[in-house]
Structure 1
Amino acid sequence: MKSYYRLMLGQKSVHASDCLAANCVGTDFGIHQDLTGQLPEEWRDFNQKFIPVYLEAWPDKSKVAAGLACGAIWTVSKGMQQGDVVLCPDGNGNYRVGEIAGPYYYAAGEMLPHRRPVTWREQTVAREEMSDALRNSTGSIGTVSNITKYATEIETLLAGTPLPPITVNDETIEDVATFAMEKHLEFFLVQNWAYTELGKQYDIYEEDGELLGQQYPSDTGPLDILAISKDRKTLLVVELKKGRASDVVVGQILRYMGYVQDALAEPDQSVRGVIIALEDDQRLKRALSMVPSIDFFRYAISFKLLKGGEE
């Protein structure tokens, strides 16, 4: 089955034109060695070996940043399969579309030396043509993000046909309308974090001015939001219920918290969780009553109509 990825070609797509000319995509992150024969089947094994290498090259970076960098290197170098599709911003509001055409190779001394050959298509996808959900996902943080969940929409855009109605191919989703709304909530929450109750105590994880804590990858899927307390002592995993069954979302956040504790937390840091849902959920609250490290928040939406000219 074909997978789809959004891939940044350097900060602010600075290497996009070079990659188009060289028929490749790639990563860097300061690990300047040929990785041929050093790309295991599991990214966790790669991270375990190369996070120390990354931190030696960048001693001021955190394990959170190191995990994101090494995960991106592995995904581009090994995780993407031949035939997978990449959407790469060109810096002008459009996405160039390519197909992975071969295995990893190392281009010593070149920009983005950890490379994959790509066959670029002539057509582009305009950001303004995407649905809000796909636009938000392709605009998320990080070098690479898996956007396979939007495969139908992407292929529809490439075919030049109208977008289909909302569909969800996930049996754990109980409420499709709530799922769709809460996909937007994630990005609203990120943009307005400082004004929320959580924003009083926590900051969304960032490093060197770059936001790292939205859709942070883990070995069981991406965390909606990874935050850190203002005293840097607590890492917070924030998960939106997104219309899923209560038992599913509790199990998911516990797995995420376990990953953060094992792979990202420093020895003096603890890990907590927050689940956010649209409605009061008795089943969810009952389950969380036995897990004191996870809090439950309910959100409310309000709006008003203003007649033309009114403020």
Structure 2
Amino acid sequence: MSATKQYYRVMLGPGSCYAEDGVAGRWIGADWSFDFDLSDKLLLEREEFKRAMRPIFLENNPDKTKVAAGLAAGMLYTICRDMKAGDLILTPDSQGSYFVGTIAGSYYFADGEDIPHRRRVDWYPGKIDRSSMSQELRNSTGSVGTVSNVTKYAAEIDAHIKGDPAPVLVATDELVEDPSVFALEQHLEHFLIQNWPQTELGQRYNIFEEDGEIVGQQYPSDTGPIDILAISKDRKELLVVELKRGRASDAVVGQIQRYMGYVKDELISEGQSVRGAIIALEDDLRLKRALSVTQGIDFYRYQVSFRLLKGAA
């Protein structure tokens, strides 16, 4: 198992309203209506834990969906078990800055508290100003949900902590064939989220929301995060959207099939189905060949354009 230090953004309550309490009490934590000690449950592996906790969540929150239940259980597991001693935590305050600390203890249950499922944290004396972050890091730390993993920006975060926030390029992965397209499509995901209603997919699907907040961006699955998880306006079809991100075609097709399998097995309800959509910059022949013998996955090509507007002399 890798011992690589991980970096997380953690919200302490709605809008991180308990951030000051967490810093004063030296903890981070979560709730999600589970009002009992999770120590025994946390002996389970992640997917076993999620399966055990989903029905409890849905019983306590009958108006919620399986999607919300899976998200809550997964993030709770991340906070209570996945985070290791020494992992770095960013927690937003209410003034546009982030408290910074490191995990310093294992899970404990604070009975009767609003945020009962906790980890000890050693908080640093200073903060990181959000306005000094790169746009990519701001997008990631500003994503919805209680927990987001921002380890890919470790070098930039460390530079901020040291007081030298020099620009840092985001890392790619071994499946990336075209780094320039990979970099462009880091922004495409956020553009799609912000402009979803104006897209062709947005005419038929809504990105998953819970309590007015988008939870369908980077939705966690047991084989990795789904770029976008949406649902048809009649609630009968779930849509898995994957951006090619300059990767090899075979890798993208295999990945989206795994995501669709996860949604089929874990998230859909009776009468629902799942479909996939791959979005790429180029009219990729290899991708189209692979999809021609694959059911339930559509291919979309996006275009990038800009104009130069001459200002007044």
Assess same fold via TM > 0.5: yes
Out of 218, 224, 230, the residue aligned to residue 221 of structure 2 is: 218
Out of 183, 186, 190, the residue aligned to residue 187 of structure 1 is: 190
- TM-superposed CA distance for 1:259, in Å, is 0.7
Out of 72, 84, 87, the residue aligned to residue 84 of structure 1 is: 87
- TM-superposed CA distance for 1:162, in Å, is 4.4
- TM-superposed CA distance for 1:42, in Å, is 2.1
Provide the TM-score with structure 1 as the length reference. Answer: 0.97
SS in 2 for 1:68: helix
Out of 153, 156, 175, the residue aligned to residue 153 of structure 1 is: 156
Q: Give 1:62's aligned residue.
A: 65
- TM-superposed CA distance for 1:84, in Å, is 0.6
Does the 8 A contact of 1:140 with 1:215 survive in 2?
A: no
SS in 2 for 1:39: helix
Out of 87, 99, 103, the residue aligned to residue 100 of structure 1 is: 103
- TM-superposed CA distance for 1:308, in Å, is 2.6
- TM-superposed CA distance for 1:307, in Å, is 2.3
* Distance in structure 2 (CA, Å) of the matches to 1:286 and 1:15: 51
SS in 1 for 2:229: strand
Does the 8 A contact of 1:168 with 1:176 survive in 2?
A: no
* Distance in structure 2 (CA, Å) of the matches to 1:296 and 1:94: 40
Does the 8 A contact of 2:155 with 2:168 survive in 1?
A: no
1:63 alignment partner AA:
K
Q: Give 1:50's aligned residue.
A: 53
* Distance in structure 1 (CA, Å) of the matches to 2:217 and 2:44: 25
Does the 8 A contact of 2:132 with 2:165 survive in 1?
A: no
SS in 2 for 1:217: strand
SS in 1 for 2:38: coil
- TM-superposed CA distance for 1:271, in Å, is 0.4
Where does structure 1 differ by over 3 angstroms across 4 or more consecutive aligned residues?
none
- TM-superposed CA distance for 1:164, in Å, is 4.6
2:97 alignment partner AA:
N
1:218 alignment partner AA:
S
Out of 14, 17, 22, the residue aligned to residue 19 of structure 1 is: 22
Identity of aligned residues (%): 59
Out of 197, 206, 211, the residue aligned to residue 209 of structure 2 is: 206
Out of 299, 302, 307, the residue aligned to residue 305 of structure 2 is: 302
Q: Give 1:262's aligned residue.
A: 265
Is 1:75 equivalent to 2:69 in the alignment? no
Is 1:249 equivalent to 2:246 in the alignment? no
Out of 112, 116, 121, the residue aligned to residue 118 of structure 1 is: 121
* Distance in structure 1 (CA, Å) of the matches to 2:210 and 2:312: 42
- TM-superposed CA distance for 1:133, in Å, is 1.4
Q: Give 1:140's aligned residue.
A: 143
* Distance in structure 2 (CA, Å) of the matches to 1:20 and 1:162: 24
1:150 alignment partner AA:
Y
Over the aligned positions, Cα root-mean-square deviation in angstroms equals: 1.4
- TM-superposed CA distance for 1:167, in Å, is 4.8
* Distance in structure 1 (CA, Å) of the matches to 2:116 and 2:98: 22
Is 1:236 equivalent to 2:239 in the alignment? yes
2:204 alignment partner AA:
Q
SS in 2 for 1:257: helix
Deviations 1:27-62 (A, max 9, x none): 001110011222035211110101001111011110
SS in 2 for 1:222: strand
Does the 8 A contact of 1:141 with 1:215 survive in 2?
A: no
SS in 2 for 1:110: coil
Deviations 1:126-146 (A, max 9, x none): 111222111111111111011
How many aligned residue pairs are there? 310
Q: Give 2:9's aligned residue.
A: 6
SS in 2 for 1:150: helix
Deviations 1:154-210 (A, max 9, x none): 112222224355253411111111111101010010000000000111010112212
2:38 alignment partner AA:
L
The answer for unaligned runs of 5 or more in structure 1 is: none
* Distance in structure 1 (CA, Å) of the matches to 2:17 and 2:89: 17
* Distance in structure 1 (CA, Å) of the matches to 2:41 and 2:204: 41
Deviations 1:224-282 (A, max 9, x none): 10000001000000011111111111111111111111111112110000000111111
- TM-superposed CA distance for 1:309, in Å, is 5.8
* Distance in structure 2 (CA, Å) of the matches to 1:104 and 1:211: 28
SS in 2 for 1:192: helix
